[in-house]
Amino acid sequence: MDIAAKQAELDAVTWYHEFDFGNGLRTHTHCHHIEQHRRVWAFVKAQLDRVDFRGKSVLDIGSWDGYWSFHAEKRGARAVLASDDLGQNWSAGRGIHLAKELLGSSVEIDQNLSVYDLPSRGQKFDVILFLGVYYHLHDPFYALAQIRHCCHKDTVVVIDGPIGQYLGAGAHYDFPNHGCEWLPSESAMRQLLEATYFTEPAVAHDTSPTDQPGRVGWRWRLQMARAALSGSRAAMSAKLTEALLPSRRTVFVCRPHEGEVTLHHYRPPFGLHAYDPRFRDATARRAA
């Protein structure tokens, strides 16, 4: 292999994750706030260390350059589907293919699969990774319902993202903020999981020290001033959210649930009634 040429090929890609492929070949992330990202990746890795991937079929939703898909494969997964919706991030999607080649990986790649369309594949998976995605969604309830449809009874679903600290039981929508369009409280996330027929989750919080909350630091003040001077409401809104709605990275691990969910007094939407005997049987009776 011509190492210099391969590194030049790597450098032409806008990477999200940091890969070390050996032989001096590595990727340079295009992320801002890299220390914050490294902290999140270390936290997620520690949580994934508790998941048994051996011999499992794995669905990685929003895989970007495939970092966690390759991780699952390395940890012994039998088959991995790295899925993404290329229209939802700032890369051209070449990174995952290069990484697959350099790692000699067998991960299957589908970059045209939105979380909203997952059941179109007609597959169920043993482990589903939904890492770093939910807070970018406009409709997290619908997304979780689609994930539920990809579960068999023993599936393990691992969900990672930020959880708002001072939101009570609520959630915050901020569609102009492309760093975090939707921020739930832990209570809202639990409610959503229950309403989409998942079990009570095991929850882990990232407890590593962060720059939040307390007084806003000089970096934030500078960035806020820059956003104000640029006149961008979106940039100002993002900075404000950061200061007023501090969040903690959190991982939820849950399994599919089948049975009564008292949150639903009436038949739930999006096909979820299939998991609740009260509504499943009534729907079948009406159809007969």
Ligand X SMILES: C[S@@+](CC[C@H](N)C(=O)[O-])C[C@H]1O[C@@H](n2cnc3c(N)ncnc32)[C@H](O)[C@@H]1O
Contact assessment for residue 77 and residue 57, using Cβ atoms and an 8 Å cutoff: yes
CB nearer to ligand X: give 41 or 220.
41
Rounded to the nearest whole angstrom, what is the least distance from the CB of residue 137 to ligand X in the complex? Answer: 6
CB nearer to ligand X: give 38 or 221.
38
Contacts of residues 149-154 at CB distance under 8 Å and 24 or more positions apart, as own/partner, are: 149/118, 149/119, 149/271, 150/59, 150/118, 150/119, 150/121, 150/123, 150/124, 150/125, 151/124, 151/125, 151/255, 151/256, 152/124, 152/125, 152/126, 152/256, 153/256, 153/258, 154/126, 154/255
Which residue's Cβ has the minimum distance to ligand X? 62
Q: How many CA atoms lie within 13 A of 133 on its CB side?
A: 27
Rounded to the nearest whole angstrom, what is the least distance from the CB of residue 16 to ligand X in the complex? Answer: 6
CB nearer to ligand X: give 96 or 236.
96
Catalog residues that contact ligand X under the rule CB under 6 A.
61-64, 67-68, 84-85, 88-89, 114-116, 131-133, 136-137
CB nearer to ligand X: give 66 or 164.
66
- AA letter at 127: V
281 burial type by CB count under 10 A (0-12 exposed, 13-18 middle, 19+ buried): exposed
- Residue (of 34, 5, 1) closest to 17 by Cα position: 34
**Alpha-carbon distance 277 to 264, whole Å?**
12
- Residue (of 254, 129, 248) closest to 180 by Cα position: 248
Rounded to the nearest whole angstrom, what is the least distance from the CB of residue 228 to ligand X in the complex? Answer: 26
CB nearer to ligand X: give 182 or 279.
182
Rounded to the nearest whole angstrom, what is the least distance from the CB of residue 280 to ligand X in the complex? Answer: 28
CB nearer to ligand X: give 113 or 272.
113
Rounded to the nearest whole angstrom, what is the least distance from the CB of residue 110 to ligand X in the complex? Answer: 10
Rounded to the nearest whole angstrom, what is the least distance from the CB of residue 125 to ligand X in the complex? Answer: 15
* H or E, element range at 146: helix 140-148
CB nearer to ligand X: give 180 or 254.
180
Rounded to the nearest whole angstrom, what is the least distance from the CB of residue 29 to ligand X in the complex? Answer: 11
Instruction: Report the residue count for the chain.
Output: 288
Rounded to the nearest whole angstrom, what is the least distance from the CB of residue 181 to ligand X in the complex? Answer: 9
CB nearer to ligand X: give 138 or 221.
138
* Rg of the Cα atoms in the chain: 20
Q: How many other β-carbons are positioned within 10 Å of the β-carbon of residue 215?
A: 8
